[in-house]
Structure 1
């Protein structure tokens, strides 16, 4: 007999992945029956997963309906401030604690990701893997847990900043600088490099948002 807790976890993971991959975008309404049919899961674990996502502020109420939440300008700024500090700390700790094998994995990612520079969606997925590897290399489970929460909220952004012209190549250059600092064991440099990387991503996103508003007027 299947463990109902496993089913609940699967339903949560499936919906979260659908939001993260933009199958469901900010403002989209989520309906229990439709989700149950899409994922082949009964409505009870779907309902529990939706409640959990609402508690985490990934879903919001629109009357009686649940919709994928969106971030206003203030929330976006707050998110990037927290992300910059936590990511920078992860890089600092990785410079102290990363095993040679972990650094080798980061180096391999740098090489593999070069072929994705003109594919923003694929590069976005690779970017998440790269950052996750740095989180793990920090060897601090509590920090990893908090960064997981931050990156769940990043799923509420409808587009990737990597779609901006020239941002893909610049991102890879910034990643190389971060890895070099980690490999050198220079925690301060790793912290600055990753903080600057997040700051550049934020500036790019603000520019994209401004262009979107201008185009809509």
Structure 2
């Protein structure tokens, strides 16, 4: 069945969004003909999109097939280290450059997101939106490009750390501290608050992975 969104987005964006929203998860095989039918586009742009995603290491080869890549323990560690550095810099720059209107948007997001506690999937989408707003408030296009690459790789995580018990409420409190530092124009505090936030998310991710391994034994 054709995806109605396809009329307004290219094949690369559609496949990337399908990975990001976990329509396709690590290990899933992507087939040109099936993707072309799903999105209502020809196989040529699908093939080009798959090649691009493979180049970006979001897809990997399994024999002759392309599958959604997964991250091992070392890759996960590397990803969170880079994410912490870049996100912290974005918060620092936002504290310096964010307009009052941008800060108001962040404040409004905080209030809206409090209604989503208990719905990890919805809060995960809101979390990405929140972080994207901080990226925009940094007013640094080169940093935003690098963060975009990092967040594409985050799509390879099959579950959200927000699903862990109590993590949703903790995340919102951490977001509140970040926004307060940005609003105060305190770059050091904003940088630290966001790095701490990413660190807590990583700790939660490691606990979830450990629990998954134990359950599988």
TM range (shorter): over 0.9
Deviation at residue 190 of structure 1 after TM alignment: 0.1
Corresponding residue for residue 11 of structure 2: 11
SS at match of 1:67: strand
Corresponding residue for residue 79 of structure 1: 79
Corresponding residue for residue 201 of structure 1: 201
In 1, distance between residues paired with 2:103 and 2:199? 23
Corresponding residue for residue 152 of structure 2: 152
1:99 aligns with 2:99: yes
Corresponding residue for residue 3 of structure 1: none
Corresponding residue for residue 183 of structure 1: 183
Deviation at residue 111 of structure 1 after TM alignment: 0.2
Per-residue CA distance 1:88-140 (angstroms, 9 max, x = gap): 00000000000000000000000000000110000000000000000000000
Corresponding residue for residue 23 of structure 2: 23
Structure 1 residue ranges, 4+ long, deviating more than 3 angstroms after superposition:
none
SS at match of 1:23: coil
In 1, distance between residues paired with 2:137 and 2:145? 13
In 1, distance between residues paired with 2:62 and 2:134? 37
Q: How many residues align?
A: 212
Per-residue CA distance 1:127-183 (angstroms, 9 max, x = gap): 000000000000000000000000000000000000000000000000000000000
Q: CA RMSD in A?
A: 1.3
- Unmatched tracts of structure 2, length 5 or more: 1-5
In 1, distance between residues paired with 2:92 and 2:59? 33
Deviation at residue 189 of structure 1 after TM alignment: 0.1
TM-score w.r.t. the length of structure 1 is 0.96
SS at match of 1:211: helix
Corresponding residue for residue 113 of structure 1: 113
Corresponding residue for residue 167 of structure 1: 167
In 1, distance between residues paired with 2:16 and 2:41? 14
SS at match of 1:53: helix
Corresponding residue for residue 63 of structure 2: 63
- Unmatched tracts of structure 1, length 5 or more: 1-5
In 1, distance between residues paired with 2:13 and 2:140? 23
SS at match of 1:124: helix
